[in-house]
Amino acid sequence: MKKEEIFKNLFDAVVEMNEQKGKDAATLLIKENYNPLEGIENGLSKGMKVIGEKFNKLEIYLPELMMASRVFNSAMTILKPHISSDSKSTQKGTVLIGTVKGDIHQIGKDIVAMLLEIGG
């Protein structure tokens, strides 16, 4: 399968809030030896951007946002171990991030923390 198709599947999984589709696409991305960072940037992140825009326009509500973030996190759990270990050498700084336990913003915090970690 072409990597663009896998990116589209990752994107669709987030937008459709389909966790199994996200896991399958992430697994296939790794199996096909494509760069997991490309999958995150061109699939998962773009899907979350669409979800964020829909949330801002009140087209979806908090439960749907949480479902989409669950898809994102499930796929990231598969992709993260395959991200190049030399990303440590490109570490750009240290960020301290947190929320009150159980706060709804924990979802966004987790996503931001993961993206910052991947970005160095």
Q: How far is CA 69 from the centre of its chain?
A: 7
Is 53 a domain residue? yes
Entry pTM:
0.79
Is 68 a domain residue? yes
CATH number (domain holding residue 45): 1.10.1240.10
Query: How many other C-beta atoms are found inside a 10 Å radius of the C-beta of residue 78?
Result: 19
Is 112 a domain residue? no
For 20-56, the pLDDT digits (tens) are 999 999 999 999 999 999 999 999 999 999 998 999 9
Domain span holding position 49 = 3-84
For 1-16, the pLDDT digits (tens) are 899 999 999 999 999 9
Is 51 a domain residue? yes
Q: Are 91 and 120 in contact (CB under 8 A)?
A: yes
Write the single-letter amino acid at 84: S
Is 106 a domain residue? no
Interatomic CA distance for residues 65 and 41, integer angstroms? 19
Is 43 a domain residue? yes
| Domain total of the chain | 1
Evaluated on CA atoms 5, 18, 22, 52, the torsion sign reads: positive
